[in-house]
Amino acid sequence: MHHFDWSGIPGALPTLWTGAIVTFEITVCAIVVGILWGTLLALLRLSGIKPLQWFAQGYVTVFRSIPLVMVLLWFFLIVPQLLQSVLSLSPNIDIRLASAMVAFSLFEAAYYSEIIRAGIQAVPRGQVNASFALGMRYSQAMQHVVLPQAFRAMVPLLLTQAIVLFQDTALVYVISLADFFRTATNIGDRDGTTVEMVLFAGACYFVVCVIASGIVKSLQKKVAT
């Protein structure tokens, strides 16, 4: 029988919080960039211009067909110098964190794109026609009429995808980035309390996801009314 020792957790909280900040940084960056880039991809997919449609469709197909862990390894092992030159990163910045942020952002954009495209297509075509009748251009109709309605309906789905993203951030373990999960396991390996630290990390992920799921359900009820 394993004898659980939870006494080391209070003292490890400051270090765990440092790892949690890394996890939240990756999550927030991927949500913001993913939604922005995903929105553009969705608009390209619906643009009616064949080359743009093919690009957006190919992008979504590629990233939705490849495991996230492989994308993380690609950006970490293959293109770190490219990331430093393109993003003008300081040598003091951990390339692992930059790689994770870029990989998650580009990967999640493919999934957000499909959610947003479905949301746009759910808006009645009559809304667009009415916008044209008022003298709006297509871009103005999208910006002022279609997208606000689509995003209102999509909020629960976007947040649900954000929860999945938050859970997936633990995969940065493979590039040795000290996120919350990696920090917990490192402390466990150091103190001989690996089981306890992994269970504690899992409990923290569980609490955050349950709270976020409750928020999603609340928003779904508001949207439905």
Give the CATH number, domain containing residue 150: 1.10.3720.10
Domain assignment present for 2: no
Domain assignment present for 38: yes
Check: CB of residue 150 under 8 Å from CB of residue 123.
yes
Percent above pLDDT 90 for the chain = 44
Domain assignment present for 118: yes
| pLDDT of the residue at 225 | 64
Greater pLDDT, 217 or 61: 61
Instruction: List, in sequence order, the alpha helices (H) in 46-94.
Output: 50-64, 68-77, 80-86
What's the total number of domains in the chain? 1
Residue 135 has pLDDT above 90, yes or no: no
Residue 92 has pLDDT above 70, yes or no: no
| pLDDT of the residue at 16 | 93
Domain assignment present for 81: yes
- Between CA 217 and CA 13 the distance in angstroms is 30
Check: CB of residue 77 under 8 Å from CB of residue 69.
no
Distance of CA 21 to the CA centre of its chain: 15
Amino acid letter, 147 = L
Domain assignment present for 59: yes
Domain that holds residue 188: 9-224
Return phi, psi of residue 52, to 5°: -70, -40
Q: 64: pLDDT confidence band, cut at 50, 70 and 90?
A: very high
Token pair for residue 44?
């390209």
- Between CA 205 and CA 166 the distance in angstroms is 9
| pLDDT of the residue at 18 | 93
Greater pLDDT, 162 or 217: 162
| pLDDT of the residue at 104 | 94
Domain assignment present for 48: yes
- Between CA 149 and CA 132 the distance in angstroms is 17
Residue 124 has pLDDT above 90, yes or no: no
| pLDDT of the residue at 144 | 79
State the maximum Cα–Cα separation within the chain, in Å, rounded to a whole number: 75
Domain assignment present for 1: no
Residue 1 has pLDDT above 70, yes or no: no
Cα distances (angstroms) measured from residue 74 to each of 20, 40, 178:
24, 24, 18
| List of residues 6+ apart from 171 with CB closer than 8 A | 68, 69, 72
